[in-house]
Amino acid sequence: MHRRIQPALLAVTLLALVAAPALANRKAAPANEPARKAATAVTEEAQAVAAASEAAGKKLVLGRRVALETSKGTLVVGLFEKDAPKTTDNFLRLVRKGFYDNTPFHRVIEGFVAQGGDPTGTGTGGPGYTVKFEKTPLKHISGAIGMARSASLDSAGSQFFIDFIALPQLDTRLDDKGVPTGGYVVFGQVVKGQAILAKLTRTMTPDNAPRPGIKPDRIVKARIL
């Protein structure tokens, strides 16, 4: 507020002169905000990929990204299409069909995972087919996305889960011939909005018992970026 000129006018002018830089700075902030947010997003994505690469023991390359617009905010998932081509292809196909739209995170356990992808919300629903288990070097670190399945390795369909913490006990297990014998296929990583995970309503107790009367959060819309 800097503008001053003669006794009475001097004070008024001086105020205007002081105000000019302040107003200029205020106008500049919004203009720079998109660039700041973009830089933050790039950093978050780079850190996520670096962590996944370190766990996998190789440099990973992200393929397409998918935005999961949830009732608590938007998560962006980066897909490792080169390392899990069949699993990511199935996921993308379901996204294109709108299969995940308005589906709940039916199983959310503190310190474990948020599971979704079942239109029925019961944990037993799916797309009507299954996908073959895919051997990959990807690991279950915080923010990793894996395919849910039943007892059979080849029983995954549409349900997936997001790891809240590193869960090495879920990593793919191989026999002495390199054949998968257990674990859950990782196919992507949360690359933006990981803080949203802490906001998702915990629908289950730590010992996997349902919490009565709890309304689960939902995937409002899934879309390929």
Tokens of 196: 């949203």
Q: Which residues pair with 222 in a beta bridge?
A: 68
Q: Which amino acid is at 107?
A: R
Mean pLDDT of the chain: 88
- Residue 50: the pLDDT is 96
Q: Which residues contact 146 (CB under 8 A, 6 or more apart)?
A: 140, 160, 161, 163, 170, 184, 185, 186, 187
Q: Which residues pair with 63 in a beta bridge?
A: none
- Residue 37: the pLDDT is 58
Burial class (CB in 10 A: 0-12, 13-18, 19+), 90: buried
Q: How many CB atoms lie within 10 A of CB 36?
A: 10
Distances from the Cα of 46 to the Cαs of 15, 43, 107, 189, in angstroms?
Answer: 46, 5, 29, 11
Question: pLDDT below 70 — which residues of the chain?
Answer: 1-31, 33-41
Q: 60-224 has which fold? A: Cyclophilin (2.40.100)
Q: How many CB atoms lie within 10 A of CB 14?
A: 15
Q: How far is CA 10 from the centre of its chain?
A: 57
> Collapsing DSSP states into helix, strand and coil, what is residue 40?
helix
How far is residue 180's CA from residue 162's CA, in Å, rounded to a whole number?
21
- Residue 35: the pLDDT is 63
Whether the model clears a pTM of 0.85, i.e. scores above it, the answer is no
Give the E-state strand segments of the chain in sequence order.
Answer: 65-70, 73-79, 103-104, 107-108, 113-116, 144-147, 160-163, 173-174, 180-182, 186-192, 218-224
> Collapsing DSSP states into helix, strand and coil, what is residue 31?
helix
- Residue 32: the pLDDT is 74
- Residue 19: the pLDDT is 45
- Residue 42: the pLDDT is 73
- Reference 72, options 215, 223, 219, 209; nearest CA is 219
